[in-house]
Structure formats: C-alpha cells, structure tokens
Structure 1
C-alpha cells in the first residue's frame, strides 16, 4: 500500500487566481508547521516546483529525504486570468469566469488549461511517483492538484469534488493498493 500525504502549501495572501504564478508562501505560523511536522510520517518529501510549495516542503523536511521538485504537480494554469480576481475578470469579460467554473472540466481560461488538462498532468506525475514509491510519500502541492487526486480516489464528478475544502497546511491522505485509490482523510488540520 502506498500512501500519499498531500500537504497544501502555506498561505500566499493573494486575492486573485494563483495558478502558475510563482508567489511566495508565508510560513510565519511556526506552531502550525510544528504540528504538521509531528503529524507526518518520516517519509520522502516531493513538491511542485513553484516557490510556495518548495519553501513549505523545506519547512517540514526536518531530516526527511527530499525528492526533486516536480513541475507536473503544479496548480491549474489560469493563463490570462493569473492574479486577477473573479470580479476583475467578470468586469472585463462578462460571464466567461462563471462559464468556466460551471464546467471547468470542459472549459479553459484564455491561454490556460482545463480541469481535465490539470488532472491528467498531475495524475501522470502521481503515477510516476507511485511506481517508484515504497510506502509513504509526502507531496506538497496546490489546492487544484490535491482536489484532482481526491476526485480520482472518490470517482466523483468535478462539481462534487469542488465542494471539498483544502486549507493551507492541511493534510489529505490518499492510498493506492495497487488496483485502486482510497481517500483516507481529506483536509485534516493537525
């Protein structure tokens, strides 16, 4: 059994849509980081290559083996909508943002990717990691990347999985038994 301990990166305090923009995480809540470290197994750590994940992984590494950063674990690419708020996008482009969120699996932000694009990319990265994993693996990633894997484990539609919360510095534990995925914990705050 391989267990993926998904950790969402620390908060960015951005108000807009943050996908591939390389913005920092604020990791000043040392108590939350200590609780997170104590909750996690002594397992290898891998992260998205974006700085908010890299620095969060650095903060919880604490002697754990570190795997190379993986760009396949990035957040959904919001393209031209990066760092813009929903209100800004709606004011400039009308209902396009509502249309996107009604069916993100079928729609893309301009010059971005759909939910299906993102889950395929992240799923391929996870499959590579699972093939090499021996037991537990800690993965520091993003809201969408984590929810995409929750969707995979639950086998539910995107509209249903988007109802789940994934808080900063939360842990979502998914297990792969060699045949299928299982959701063991979603959005656990240690």
Structure 2
C-alpha cells in the first residue's frame, strides 16, 4: 500500500482566484506548523508545487525528512484571464457560472479546464509513485490539486467534489491499494 498525505499550503489571505500567481503563504503560526509536522509520517519524503506558498510550507514542515525537487505539475489550476479576480469581477458571468457548475472541458480564457488540471496532477502522482513505489509521500499543494485526487479516490463528479472544504494547513490522506485509491481522511486539522 502507498499513502499520500496531501497538505494544503499556508494561507495567502487573498480574496480572489489565485492559481499560478506566486503569492507567499502566511506561516506565522508556528504551533500549528509544528502540530502538522508531528502528525505526518517521519520517514516520508516531502514534495511540493513549485509556487512559493507551497515550497515555503513544505520547507516549514519537512524537518529532517527527505526534500524532493519541486514539481510544477502540482501547481494550482491556471485561471488565465481570471487570475487574481474575484468572481464578481469576471465580465462573462455566463462562462464563469458554466465553469463552476459543469466542471470538465471548459476553462477560463487563457487558462486550463478541470479535466486538464486533473490530467496534469494524475501524471505527477504517477511519476512520483513510479519513483517511490510502496512509499508514503507528503505532497504540499493547492486546493484544486487536492480536489482532483479526492475526486478520483471517492469516485465523484467534479461538481460533487467541489462541496469539500480543504483548509489551509490541512491533511487529506489517500491510500493506494491494489483496488485503487481510497480516502482515509479529508481536511484533517492536526
């Protein structure tokens, strides 16, 4: 069995759609970071998205764990023309509503769709576990990234998966067995 412990990066405090913008995380709550680091498996290597909010969070919880190279395929969804905009600032509200209500092949202008994001993250996860078979992995990533993998583990539609809350500095543990992926815990706050 392999386990992946998805950790959502520390908060950015942005009130807009943050995808590929490289905003820093607020990592001032050292007690919370220590509880998180203590909760995670001690021998598991740590990998993260290459965006600073994820890399800094990974560095803060790694301690003496092996630190793997940052993986750009673990980045958040690319919001294209909607990047750093609030929902009410998007001019084409019909397009925006369709994007969120029927996630799939429709993406923001110049951005990526839910299906594109899911395929990108699936490739990264497969690559990681091909390199580290039967291992525990700690992956520090983003809300959308974690939801793609939760969708796969629970066999839900993307729209159903959007109902899950994934807090900053939470852990979502997914286990891979010979029958596929299974969710052990979702949005756990150590």
Give the alignment's TM-score, normalised by structure 1. Answer: 0.96
Taking the TM superposition and a 5 Å limit, the aligned residue runs for 1:22-171 are 22-42=22-42, 43-89=44-90, 92-133=91-132, 134-171=134-171
Give per-residue Cα distances to partners, 1:136-190, cap 9 Å, x unaligned. 1100000000010000111111111111100000000001114411110000000
Mapped partners of 1:93, 1:174: distance in 2: 36
Contact map agreement 2:129 2:135 (CA 8 A) in 1: no
Contact map agreement 2:105 2:116 (CA 8 A) in 1: no
Mapped partners of 1:119, 1:145: distance in 2: 7
Could you say which residue in structure 2 is the equivalent of 1:11? 11
Mapped partners of 1:28, 1:118: distance in 2: 30
Mapped partners of 1:17, 1:98: distance in 2: 14
Contact map agreement 2:54 2:141 (CA 8 A) in 1: yes
Mapped partners of 1:54, 1:94: distance in 2: 33
3-state DSSP class of the match of 1:49? coil
Mapped partners of 1:93, 1:180: distance in 2: 39
3-state DSSP class of the match of 1:140? strand
Mapped partners of 1:143, 1:94: distance in 2: 22
What RMSD in Å do the two structures reach over aligned CA positions? 0.9
3-state DSSP class of the match of 2:58? helix
Unpaired segments of 5 or more residues in structure 2?
none
Give the alignment's TM-score, normalised by structure 2. Answer: 0.96
Mapped partners of 1:87, 1:29: distance in 2: 31
Moved over 4 A (4+): none
Mapped partners of 2:30, 2:178: distance in 1: 36
Mapped partners of 2:111, 2:47: distance in 1: 25
